[in-house]
Structures are given as structure tokens and as C-alpha cells.
Amino acid sequence: MLTTVLTAMPTAVDIFNFFVEHASYLFVFLFMVIESSFIPFPSEVIVPPAVYLACVNQGGGAQMEPWLVVACATAGALVGAYINYYLALWIGRPLVYRFADSHVGHACLLDREKVQNAEAYFDKHGAVSTFVGRLIPAIRQLISIPAGISRMNLGVFTLYTGLGALVWNIVLALLGWWLASSVSYDALLPAIEKYNSYLSWAGLAIGVICVLIIVRNVLKKRKQK
């Protein structure tokens, strides 16, 4: 059965080809908006590949410049942070925690403990936490929530969040640039094809783990009630 499921899933080669064909500034911007909001999505799978394609002048990347990829990624991260900031500002602290306790919140890998940790980090470090928090994986997406709850000055929030996102995206871009200088485009696809089955199994395993985490959070909440 697992083999059937694996066969029906898009392979690593399919995902790679999709990225190559659709890579664009808008593509990077939209996915970074998602990454920076409360929806879990890793920026590590967007910026480095986009910069890599820009450096090797292939696919959609042939139309892009690495520094503009970083600029679009930073703009997207800032827009995603605004989503969290304004949602927290408008709905208030009680509803933020109610959402974190809900099934939808758990489906987004969000729970009360994570929001509490983000609030504690914000309370401890103040406004600068919106800069430092952008560099910490466990805090990056959530640090905008306590900023919105506390009605942090929007100009200060924009400055620190934008700078933090810029630093992080430059690090990711350097990773993509290093990959481009180390592995040619002609050698990359055969390598992906060679390890395609392993990558597909790894993707399936990650998906199963995410589902198990969501189920665990839901059962944990029911047990607490």
C-alpha cells in the first residue's frame, strides 16, 4: 500500500522540475508570505533554490537576479509578518489563544505553549526581539503575534522585522550561491534522479510525522479538557 501511495505522490524530480519552470519573483514573494504567516512552510526550500537557478541562469531563474530574489523574499516575509501582527492586534489576546487551542491552530502546528513562548521571548527582549526572532526557527513565524497583541509601534516593528528577514534571506541566498558554485545544473538533475526514491520516501515520512504531531496535539487537548 505504501508503494502505491508513493507512486501516486509527486516525485523529487517532479517537484524540482515544477520549481525550475515556475520560479519567479512573484513565486518567491508569495511563498515567503506563507512562510512568514502562521502557516508552517520552510523558507529554506524557496530562497536557496531560487538563487541557485538565478546564478546558473536556468529555468525561471534565467529571468532573475539573486539580489532581487532576496528583496522579494524579504518583502514577502514582511507581508506575512503583517498578517500575524494585524490579526493579533484586531482579534486580541483571548482569541489568539483560543485559535491556538483549536483544531485549525493545531493543523497549522500552532498551540498555546508556542504562543506563550513567543510572548515570553517578546516580553524579555522587547522590540529588538522582532529582529532577533526572525533568525530563530522556533520563534520566526510567531514573534509578530505578541508584537501585535502589545500594539508595538508599526514603524519600529517594520524596521526590526524587515532587517531580521533581510539578514536571514541573505544567509539563505549565500547557501544558494555556494551550491551554484559547487554543483553545475547539468550535474544536479542526474543526482536528484539517482536518489529520487530515497527523497520520495523521506518526503512521505515527513508528511506522516506532521500528521502524527497534529493528531497528538488534538488528543492532548482533549485529554486536558
> Cell numbers 508513493 label which residue?
6
DSSP letter for each residue of 37-57: SSS---GGGTHHHHHHHHHHT
Taking residues 111-135, report their average pLDDT: 71
97-105: long-range contacts, CB 8 A cutoff, minimum separation 24: 101/221, 103/218
136-150: pLDDT as tens digits: 766 777 778 888 887
Which three three-digit cell numbers place residue 195? 536518489
Check residues 212 and 171 and name the one with the higher pLDDT.
171
61-79: pLDDT as tens digits: 778 899 999 999 999 999 9
Judged against a pLDDT cut of 80, whether residue 193 lies above it is answered with no
pTM: 0.72
Instruction: Return phi, psi of residue 76, to 5°.
Output: -65, -40
Instruction: Return phi, psi of residue 183, to 5°.
Output: -130, 120
Query: What residues contact 173, with CB distance under 8 A and at least 6 apart?
Result: 47, 48, 51, 66, 69, 70, 73
Which three three-digit cell numbers place residue 165? 528577514
